[in-house]
Structure 1
Amino acid sequence: MDKNSLVSILINNYNYGNFIAEAIDSALNQNYPEIEVIVVDDGSTDNSREIIASYGDRIKPILKKNGGQASAFNAGFAASTGDFICFLDSDDLFKVDKVTAVVNAFQQDKTIGWYFHTLELFGSQLDQKELDSVSSELSGIYDLRPYILRGKLRGSLPFEVNIATSGTCCRRSLLERILPMSEETRITSDDYIKYAALGISKGFISFQPLARQRIHGNNAYTLTPGIEKLRAKTQILTACQLKEKFPELSKFSNNLVAMGISIYWKIGSIEAATQKLLNTYMSTINYLEKAKIYTKVVYYRFIRHRLNTFGFKK
């Protein structure tokens, strides 16, 4: 392993003063020595900035007005200098050997652009039901570009895998193609980064949980009740960004739009700002594409739901 490769750990924070010190400590305590820790505070109104200041020059702080997670990602990446970038939510923790594992994988295969890994859930608000797990023997290099180009991702792997922000790592050269991103998506902005990465590069999926995701009852997304409207909005926003920056992935972005619309059909309402975005998106595609999108909407809303209800997985 090239010990000279610098790794940037980007921590994004908003009002998580109760947790941020643990997140920073987990980044600083990595057993890989060449790291820089960049903490972006997105206009917190609690004691977060006092805690960040207490670390002095051990970290690189960026204190900005509130603009959402996408703006924090943009600011953190712009300030970074590392060859590899690891994202960390301020309520999560890296395990001590996380960065070493990531660098090893990137150094062993110079052609992979991303490294995604699973997370171990913990916290007082965690339902003790075991989530589905996948054998670590399935860890390895995956090239999902052919599936994304055809507009598909579901079914491209022999298992289901959900990757959160704190399980996302990329080469700098790949992120330079993806960022900066639109700052309209205020949370779950990592969806755009992950889908873009999958569509333009092969990478490594690890089923070793190299980070811990805290479930504390105030999570912005994971295991949060009533999340459907946010999921629908995020899918449409992500689709708009993908189509604008990577038009070759339009089949995939069209499918994201269809999934978003199907959720809005289910819940019965759509925000005016999201409707405006959707109208703009639809104005850029032809009638055949629109017909395919609404065919997918009907399938997602009515047919697939019924297949799943009766025990069929499609």
Structure 2
Amino acid sequence: MERPTISVLINNYNYGCFVGRAIDSALNQQASNVEIIVVDDGSSDQSRSVLEGYDKRVKLLFQENRGQAAAVNAAVKASSGDILCFLDADDWWAPGKLPATAAAFHANPRASLVYHRLQPMQTDGSPGFRAIPRTLCSGDLSPRLARSAGWWPFPLTSAIAVRRSAWDAAGDIPEEFRISADAWLAGIYPFLGGVVALPDPLGFYRIHNNNWYRAVDDAAMLRKRMAHWQSVVDATNRFLSAHNLAGRLRLDDHYPYRVASARLEGADIRTRFRLAVEGLLFAGEPNLLRRTRDALRTARDLPRLGQAVRLSESAR
């Protein structure tokens, strides 16, 4: 049998109502030499019965619940493609995603990661807002990440593909990434090779209650994001040290972290001014107009001292 050029790796946990669409979108790709591997991470809903309906067309793996990183690692271990394309079970792809991704890797032999935009979708099937990420970044991103504590307008899991040789160099995703495996992929692989951004929205990101997207963050979500960002910085620095790569990330350079902290504590005039300047200079957002707008808007909208963001009523 000819070795698959592309491995589609779907991780699923209690998304029995969504995973069929994800698998169908992979099966309907305009590409050959593709294998599809689905890892169910200990679901307790109807996922198994849905997945077993695809048994002859995809490779199915079932494991005890260990988190997203463990599911993705198991899928990669069972795969054989030269290109690894990740898909969350609650998202889906446009038919041309795989050929566009393969062409980008072929045209850029030094690329470790290829990504594209995703179109956010509401539960009623309508577009949520403009495709994300809005700013695209290509080339050698490692200097930028070193100056921004690893933050950039990075893609979500279902938009990311990596070269197997880069995966072999990086190793498995640490299992501490029980959610947000995209933070590891987008944070580590730019240190291993070039990045290629495709401008078209070649996939769809489903907005629902179980993902990270919130129109407005309450205090609990802000603290959760800050803890996540700190753990990503720590994990990245361990990786850089273990692989004898230059540079270390500093949490003080992580502008979104500093803004979240100010939202929790409240901000006086001096803090607003300082964060406005930091936002204008922040290396993580390459687009000058967007960086300027976001910095000024952030400084304007920070709560005053004594009026910090609190828990929402539903979280109390």
TM range, normalised to the smaller chain? Answer: 0.7 to 0.9
TM-score (norm 2): 0.75
**8 Å contact kept, 2:113–2:196:** yes
Q: Tell me the amino acid that sits aligned with residue 93 of structure 1.
A: W
Corresponding residue number in structure 2 for 1:291: none
**CA spacing shift, 1:260–1:149, aligned 2, 3 Å:** closer
Whole-angstrom distance in 1 between the partners of 2:246 and 2:254: 13
**CA spacing shift, 1:134–1:239, aligned 2, 3 Å:** closer
Q: Tell me the amino acid that sits aligned with residue 210 of structure 2.
A: N
SS at match of 1:23: helix
**CA spacing shift, 1:194–1:310, aligned 2, 3 Å:** closer
Deviation string, structure 1 residues 55-76 (Cα, Å, up to 9, x no partner): 1131111111111111111111
**RMSD (Å) for aligned C-alpha atoms:** 3.2
Corresponding residue number in structure 2 for 1:179: 171
Corresponding residue number in structure 1 for 2:212: 221
Corresponding residue number in structure 1 for 2:12: 13
**8 Å contact kept, 2:11–2:71:** yes
What are the within-5 Å matches in structure 2 for residues 67-78 of structure 1?
Answer: 67-78=66-77
Shift of 1:253: 5.3
Corresponding residue number in structure 2 for 1:209: 201
Q: Tell me the amino acid that sits aligned with residue 50 of structure 1.
A: S
**8 Å contact kept, 2:149–2:254:** no
Corresponding residue number in structure 1 for 2:35: 36
Q: Tell me the amino acid that sits aligned with residue 102 of structure 1.
A: T
**8 Å contact kept, 2:240–2:247:** yes
**1:246 paired residue among 240, 247, 262:** 240
What are the within-5 Å matches in structure 2 for residues 1-314 of structure 1?
Answer: 6-124=5-123, 130-131=129-130, 141-151=138-148, 161-215=153-207, 217-223=208-214, 225-226=217-218, 227-247=221-241, 248=245, 250-252=247-249, 254-255=251-252, 260=257, 263=260, 266-267=263-264, 303-304=274-275, 310-311=296-297
**When you count helix as a share of all residues, which structure comes out higher?**
1
**8 Å contact kept, 1:84–1:170:** yes
Q: Tell me the amino acid that sits aligned with residue 239 of structure 1.
A: V
Number of equivalenced pairs: 273
Whole-angstrom distance in 2 between the partners of 1:260 and 1:246: 21
**CA spacing shift, 1:311–1:127, aligned 2, 3 Å:** farther
Whole-angstrom distance in 1 between the partners of 2:138 and 2:117: 15
SS at match of 1:252: coil
Shift of 1:304: 1.3
Shift of 1:163: 1.0
Shift of 1:112: 1.2
Structure 1, unaligned stretches of length 5 or more? 155-159, 269-298
**8 Å contact kept, 1:105–1:204:** yes
Moved more, 304-313 or 85-94: 304-313
**CA spacing shift, 1:219–1:174, aligned 2, 3 Å:** same
**8 Å contact kept, 2:259–2:275:** no
Whole-angstrom distance in 2 between the partners of 1:132 and 1:6: 28
**CA spacing shift, 1:267–1:203, aligned 2, 3 Å:** same
Whole-angstrom distance in 2 between the partners of 1:173 and 1:111: 11
**8 Å contact kept, 1:243–1:249:** no
**8 Å contact kept, 1:40–1:76:** yes
Shift of 1:95: 0.7
**CA spacing shift, 1:262–1:300, aligned 2, 3 Å:** farther
**CA spacing shift, 1:124–1:64, aligned 2, 3 Å:** same
SS at match of 1:58: coil
**8 Å contact kept, 1:151–1:251:** no
Shift of 1:111: 1.3
